[in-house]
Amino acid sequence: MQVSVKVNGEEYMREIEPRMLLVHFLRDELGLTGTHWGCDTSNCGVCVVQVDGVPVKSCTMLAAMATGHEVLTVEGLEQGGELDPIQQGFMTEHGLQCGFCTPGMMLTARWLLDNNPHPSNAEIREAISGNLCRCTGYENIVRAVRWAADHPRVSETEEMAAS
Protein backbone atom coordinates (compact mmCIF):
# COMPACT_ATOMS: atom_id res chain seq x y z
CA MET A 1 0.00 0.00 0.00
CA GLN A 2 1.07 3.57 -0.52
CA VAL A 3 1.62 5.83 2.46
CA SER A 4 2.25 9.53 2.51
CA VAL A 5 3.66 10.87 5.77
CA LYS A 6 5.08 14.25 6.66
CA VAL A 7 8.23 13.76 8.75
CA ASN A 8 10.09 16.76 10.17
CA GLY A 9 8.29 19.01 7.71
CA GLU A 10 9.08 16.93 4.63
CA GLU A 11 6.52 14.83 2.73
CA TYR A 12 7.51 11.21 2.09
CA MET A 13 5.67 8.72 -0.14
CA ARG A 14 6.53 5.04 0.06
CA GLU A 15 5.10 1.71 -1.00
CA ILE A 16 5.01 -0.50 2.12
CA GLU A 17 3.34 -3.56 3.59
CA PRO A 18 0.42 -2.58 5.85
CA ARG A 19 2.06 -4.41 8.74
CA MET A 20 5.12 -2.15 8.79
CA LEU A 21 5.49 -0.41 12.14
CA LEU A 22 6.19 3.30 12.25
CA VAL A 23 9.58 2.80 13.93
CA HIS A 24 10.80 0.59 11.06
CA PHE A 25 9.34 2.98 8.48
CA LEU A 26 11.33 5.85 9.96
CA ARG A 27 14.56 3.90 10.39
CA ASP A 28 14.61 1.55 7.40
CA GLU A 29 12.56 3.34 4.75
CA LEU A 30 13.57 6.93 5.51
CA GLY A 31 16.99 6.28 7.10
CA LEU A 32 16.09 8.37 10.14
CA THR A 33 17.92 6.22 12.67
CA GLY A 34 17.78 8.82 15.42
CA THR A 35 14.56 7.15 16.51
CA HIS A 36 15.74 4.11 18.42
CA TRP A 37 14.20 0.67 18.50
CA GLY A 38 14.32 -0.97 21.90
CA CYS A 39 12.02 -3.33 23.76
CA ASP A 40 9.48 -3.69 20.94
CA THR A 41 6.73 -4.06 23.57
CA SER A 42 5.76 -0.40 24.20
CA ASN A 43 7.44 -0.42 27.59
CA CYS A 44 10.79 1.33 27.18
CA GLY A 45 9.92 4.47 25.19
CA VAL A 46 13.16 4.77 23.20
CA CYS A 47 11.06 4.78 20.00
CA VAL A 48 8.92 7.76 21.05
CA VAL A 49 8.20 10.25 18.27
CA GLN A 50 5.58 12.97 18.11
CA VAL A 51 2.57 12.49 15.84
CA ASP A 52 0.65 15.75 15.37
CA GLY A 53 2.53 17.14 18.37
CA VAL A 54 1.74 14.26 20.72
CA PRO A 55 4.36 11.70 21.80
CA VAL A 56 3.58 8.09 20.87
CA LYS A 57 5.55 4.84 20.91
CA SER A 58 6.39 4.21 17.25
CA CYS A 59 6.88 0.45 17.81
CA THR A 60 3.17 0.29 18.63
CA MET A 61 1.77 2.26 15.74
CA LEU A 62 1.49 1.20 12.10
CA ALA A 63 3.18 3.41 9.53
CA ALA A 64 -0.12 3.23 7.64
CA MET A 65 -1.81 4.95 10.57
CA ALA A 66 0.55 7.92 10.18
CA THR A 67 -0.67 8.63 6.64
CA GLY A 68 -1.89 12.20 6.48
CA HIS A 69 -0.29 13.05 9.81
CA GLU A 70 2.84 14.93 10.83
CA VAL A 71 5.66 13.11 12.55
CA LEU A 72 8.45 14.80 14.50
CA THR A 73 11.60 12.82 15.25
CA VAL A 74 14.78 13.79 17.07
CA GLU A 75 16.26 14.86 13.72
CA GLY A 76 13.60 17.58 13.54
CA LEU A 77 14.15 19.11 16.99
CA GLU A 78 16.92 21.44 15.92
CA GLN A 79 15.72 24.52 14.00
CA GLY A 80 17.83 26.64 11.65
CA GLY A 81 21.06 25.20 12.98
CA GLU A 82 20.10 25.91 16.57
CA LEU A 83 19.52 23.07 19.01
CA ASP A 84 16.21 22.88 20.83
CA PRO A 85 16.53 24.00 24.47
CA ILE A 86 15.76 20.39 25.42
CA GLN A 87 18.84 19.23 23.49
CA GLN A 88 20.96 21.97 25.05
CA GLY A 89 19.64 21.00 28.46
CA PHE A 90 20.65 17.36 28.00
CA MET A 91 24.16 18.51 27.01
CA THR A 92 24.56 21.06 29.77
CA GLU A 93 23.19 18.89 32.59
CA HIS A 94 24.69 15.59 31.36
CA GLY A 95 21.24 14.11 30.84
CA LEU A 96 22.65 11.09 29.05
CA GLN A 97 25.33 8.48 29.35
CA CYS A 98 24.84 5.80 26.68
CA GLY A 99 22.28 7.92 24.85
CA PHE A 100 19.95 5.10 23.87
CA CYS A 101 16.90 6.53 25.64
CA THR A 102 17.72 10.15 24.78
CA PRO A 103 15.75 10.74 21.54
CA GLY A 104 12.51 9.39 23.01
CA MET A 105 13.17 11.15 26.30
CA MET A 106 13.64 14.50 24.53
CA LEU A 107 10.49 14.21 22.40
CA THR A 108 8.41 13.42 25.47
CA ALA A 109 10.06 16.30 27.35
CA ARG A 110 9.45 18.73 24.45
CA TRP A 111 5.74 17.85 24.59
CA LEU A 112 5.69 18.40 28.36
CA LEU A 113 7.19 21.88 28.05
CA ASP A 114 4.89 22.76 25.13
CA ASN A 115 1.91 22.07 27.40
CA ASN A 116 3.39 22.99 30.77
CA PRO A 117 6.30 25.45 30.43
CA HIS A 118 7.02 25.47 34.18
CA PRO A 119 6.63 21.89 35.40
CA SER A 120 7.52 20.77 38.92
CA ASN A 121 10.08 17.99 39.31
CA ALA A 122 7.22 15.62 40.10
CA GLU A 123 5.45 16.60 36.89
CA ILE A 124 8.65 16.02 34.90
CA ARG A 125 9.03 12.56 36.43
CA GLU A 126 5.41 11.71 35.72
CA ALA A 127 5.69 12.89 32.10
CA ILE A 128 8.76 10.73 31.39
CA SER A 129 7.47 7.70 33.32
CA GLY A 130 6.96 5.88 30.02
CA ASN A 131 10.59 6.40 29.01
CA LEU A 132 13.12 4.12 30.67
CA CYS A 133 16.74 5.10 31.32
CA ARG A 134 19.14 2.51 32.73
CA CYS A 135 22.17 4.81 33.11
CA THR A 136 21.37 8.08 34.80
CA GLY A 137 18.97 7.24 37.58
CA TYR A 138 16.88 10.07 36.03
CA GLU A 139 18.36 12.81 38.24
CA ASN A 140 20.27 14.47 35.41
CA ILE A 141 17.39 13.98 32.98
CA VAL A 142 15.08 15.89 35.33
CA ARG A 143 17.77 18.59 35.62
CA ALA A 144 18.07 18.71 31.81
CA VAL A 145 14.33 19.26 31.39
CA ARG A 146 14.40 21.82 34.18
CA TRP A 147 17.26 23.62 32.37
CA ALA A 148 15.20 23.69 29.16
CA ALA A 149 12.20 25.08 31.06
CA ASP A 150 14.43 27.84 32.43
CA HIS A 151 15.93 28.61 29.01
CA PRO A 152 13.08 28.73 26.47
CA ARG A 153 13.72 29.64 22.85
CA VAL A 154 13.73 33.38 22.19
CA SER A 155 10.53 33.00 20.13
CA GLU A 156 8.83 31.29 23.10
CA THR A 157 9.92 34.07 25.44
CA GLU A 158 8.38 36.62 23.08
CA GLU A 159 5.14 34.64 22.99
CA MET A 160 5.04 34.63 26.77
CA ALA A 161 5.69 38.37 26.92
CA ALA A 162 2.94 38.99 24.35
CA SER A 163 0.43 36.92 26.32
Partner 1 sequence: MQVPAPFEYERATSVDEAIALLERHGDEARLIAGGQSLLPLMKLRFAEPEALVDINDLTELQRIWIADDQLHIGALVRHSELLASAVVGEHYRILHDAERVIADPVVRNRGTVGGSLCHADPAEDLSAALAAIRGDVVIKSSGGERVLPIRELQTGPFETCIGPAEIVTEIRLPIRASTGSAYTKVERRAGDYAVAAAGAVVTLDGDMISEVGLGLAAVGAPHLVAARAEDAVRGRIADDEAVDLAAQVAAEECQPPTDQRGPADYKRALAGELVKRAMRTAIARCRGQEE
The only residue of 57, 109, 119, 143 in contact with partner 1, by rule CB under 8 A? 57
Of the candidates 70, 56, 93, the residue with the CA atom closest to the CA atom of residue 12: 70
**Axis crossing angle, helix 102-115 with helix 85-92, rounded to the nearest 10:** 120
The only residue of 34, 38, 55, 119 in contact with partner 1, by rule CB under 8 A? 55
Percentage helix, strand, coil for the chain under 3-state DSSP, each rounded to 5: 40, 15, 40
Give the residue with the Cβ less far from partner 1, 44 or 148.
Answer: 44
130 binds partner 1 (CB under 8 A): yes
The only residue of 14, 29, 33, 65 in contact with partner 1, by rule CB under 8 A? 65
Cα 158 from Cα 60, distance rounded (Å): 37
Q: Applying CB under 8 A, which residues contact partner 1? A: 1, 17-21, 24, 40-43, 45, 48, 54-57, 60-62, 64-65, 67, 108, 126-127, 129-131
